[in-house]
Amino acid sequence: MYQDYAYLIVGLPILAFVLTIFLGWHLPKGGGFFTVLATFAGFILSFGIFREIYPNDEIVHQSMHWFANFNAGILIDPLAIVMLLMVTFVCTMIHTYALGYMEGDPGMARYFAEAGLFTAAMLGLVFSDNLLQLFIFWELVGLCSYLLIGFWYRKPSAASAAKKAFLVTRVGDVMFLAGIVLLYTNMVKLNLTLPDGAYLLQFQTIYDSLTLIPPDQLTWIAVLLFGGAVGKSGQFPLHVWLPDAMEGPTTVSAMIHAATMVTAGVYLVARMFPLFYAAPNALMVVAYVGAFTALFAATMGLVMFDIKRVLAYSTVSQLGYMMAGLGIGAAMGAFSVGVSMFHLIGHSFFKALLFLCAGSVIHAVGTNDLREMGGVLKHMKWTGLTMLAGSLTLAGFPYTTGFFSKDEIIVTAYEHGAMGFGWVPYIFAVVAALLTAIYTFRLWFLVFDGEARSDYHKHESPWIMLGPLVILAIFALFMGVGLNIVNVGGEGEDGGENPFYTYVGNNFDHFGVDFEELAVIGGHHVEHGAEVHEPPIIKYLPIIVGVGGILIAALFYSRWKRFDSGMVTSERDPLRHILLKRYYQNEIYTLWFAEKVIYGIALVSNMIDLKIIDGTVNKISAISVGFGGTLRKLQTGVIQNYLTAIVLGLAVLLILIELASLGVAI
């Protein structure tokens, strides 16, 4: 029943966008309740659809012809439904919180309109049934992120951050589009006879034709699509826009980092997983880039003093985990999609929670700088405790959601190494897990523990902001345990296998994807029976690094301080300098790359444009103008001239006729 109204999941937020942008100015709170209600209705619908399709393991697929051989359609399979549930739920929380957070901002109506469109774009991206439609919503997400990051557009730093986000993700988008074009041309070459109602870029058609496309082409397509994901999901080297995206309101950061935007890239790779699996070396690229990003971002998170920047680097790092989780699918097959998506969902809950808590703190304290906070817990109990919940789960404290999801990625990364696919992702993931725990609790202790380091305002946030925090905290803490309890004694070798992994991991069975066959093409076929049994130390290592990291942070930054950060590093320590300078990224990207290389290219292009392209066009037009100017003289505008010509012509004609009648041969 609910699935007949699936289109409303996107339709309602778009309606809310239209209503708020036109009527919001006249309504209390900028008409924000439209957006909240529309998103919540989307959640109800998604949940209804989930209840309908989960028991029988069905999928929803509706499609209609659009133009040429493209279609528009809705595809809700396990992969999409978990995303839909997460996006609608987390966005409902964030929008509710924003009702309190944005109170009094003159642009409130604009905020809620853009936020509604942002949500709609992300939902549309998730339930697209073909790559072209996905790309359109993908661009819409990019546009909305630009609008929202630059929400306070009068602030120069916000305007430039928005521009940066737009341009950097554009690099990825161009690659994504190139990947689509390459895939399309390859599929056209196959001359497929499509069954009725099937179209070229539909996921089903793509999955079906993977075995027919040449493997080297597949690798190119996969790498280009991954380029899109790198831009959107802030992977190295296109991660630079994410920390700057903090210039928007905190709720926007929460949306971008948790529910919408950045998860789109991971979702794209998950959605196209069979293609990556069939393409030789593609998943290796994904795994290595992901693992490197996880570690790289975590090191920068260690030294930041801006509360939102720490969280931003933590997002980059966690997205690296998700990518690595997908990448190690080379060894694990589609199971890794389940693992990675679980981390994505869990991460959405706790990252939204952490950002909203940070927003609550900033709202009250009035600064972003960790050095000016301290001892906030005394004044903001609820915010502090919910943020503690978020921090625990981000650090991977045992039996929180983050623990289950990250633990699973690290263990599968171990198996990836043990099966001979390379140890690098595993090593990076473990080190990054340790750093994650340290910087998360460094943040928490610096904000909430110790003595106040400046004279800030002290008040707890209103309940409309705290309510979402509490709900998100409950999910962040208990979702993993809950899912594991559901299936205790169920199927799966451990008895308590998380049903999420199998539900999402078996997503591609609905499309009849044969991973055995694809593995042969991709060149990572694994013999059956080559089960890896990880030693106990491997199983407990994530717990050890998680708890160990928290302890280290406590020893350095809490009231039980035993060490000072000056003991391990000094002002002149080059490593510390590099981290504080963020690996000279700004110098490399902006000063060197943008201002030297790109500016030089721009100058040359400009000259070619002016001299050659414009020059040619101008010459052609000058010739036409000159020619016309000469010919124009014929049209004197003096009637007598025309008349003379007519009379003369007539006379000549008459003479000719006369001559002809006299028998003269002309």
Interacting residue ranges for another protein, rule: CB under 8 A: 632, 635-640, 643-644, 647
CB of 637 to another protein, least distance (A): 4
In terms of CB distance, is 488 or 647 closer to another protein? 647
In terms of CB distance, is 602 or 643 closer to another protein? 643
Burial class (CB in 10 A: 0-12, 13-18, 19+), 480: buried
Tokens of 67: 């133009």
In terms of CB distance, is 612 or 625 closer to another protein? 625
CB of 636 to another protein, least distance (A): 8
Distance CA 21, CA 201 (A): 34
Could you tell me what percentage of the chain is helix, strand and coil, using 3-state DSSP and rounding each to the nearest 5?
75, 5, 20
Distance CA 494, CA 430 (A): 23
Q: Residues 273, 409: contact at Cβ < 8 Å?
A: no
Residue 497 region by backbone torsions, left for phi larger than 0, else alpha for psi between -120 and 50, else beta: beta
In terms of CB distance, is 195 or 629 closer to another protein? 629
CB of 662 to another protein, least distance (A): 21
List Cβ<8 Å contacts ≥24 apart for 209-212.
210/274, 210/275, 210/278, 210/513, 210/518, 210/521, 211/278, 211/517, 211/518, 211/521
In terms of CB distance, is 530 or 654 closer to another protein? 654
In terms of CB distance, is 56 or 635 closer to another protein? 635
In terms of CB distance, is 529 or 628 closer to another protein? 628
DSSP bridge partners of 64:
72
In terms of CB distance, is 191 or 635 closer to another protein? 635
CB of 664 to another protein, least distance (A): 24
In terms of CB distance, is 639 or 664 closer to another protein? 639
In terms of CB distance, is 44 or 625 closer to another protein? 625
In terms of CB distance, is 601 or 654 closer to another protein? 654
CB of 182 to another protein, least distance (A): 55
CB of 628 to another protein, least distance (A): 11
**What sign does the CA torsion over 267, 272, 278, 282 have?**
negative
CB of 627 to another protein, least distance (A): 15
CB of 617 to another protein, least distance (A): 25
CB of 624 to another protein, least distance (A): 17
What Rg value do the Cα atoms of the chain yield, rounded?
31
CB of 656 to another protein, least distance (A): 20
CB of 106 to another protein, least distance (A): 56
In terms of CB distance, is 555 or 646 closer to another protein? 646
| Residue 102 identity (one-letter amino acid) | M
| Residue 654 identity (one-letter amino acid) | L
Distance CA 614, CA 625 (A): 16
Among 581, 565, 555, which Cα is nearest to 304's?
581
CB of 621 to another protein, least distance (A): 19
SS3 of 196, please? coil
Place of tokens 């099937």: 198
CB of 630 to another protein, least distance (A): 12
SS (H, E, C) 419-433: HHHCCHHHHHHHHHH
Element (DSSP H or E) covering residue 73: strand 70-76
CB of 654 to another protein, least distance (A): 13
SS (H, E, C) 469-538: HHHHHHHHHHHHHHHHHHCCCCCCCCCCCCHHHHHHHCHHHHHCCCHHHHHHHHCCCCCCCCCCCCCHHH
Query: Rounded to the nearest 5 degrees, what angle is found at the Cα of 247, between the Cα atoms of 242 and 252?
Result: 75
Exposure b/e, 535-572, CB count within 10 A at least 16 = b:
eeebeebbbebbbebbebbbebbbeeeeeeeeeeeeee
Cis peptide before 237 (omega within 30 of 0): yes
Among 210, 170, 81, 97, which Cα is nearest to 472's?
97
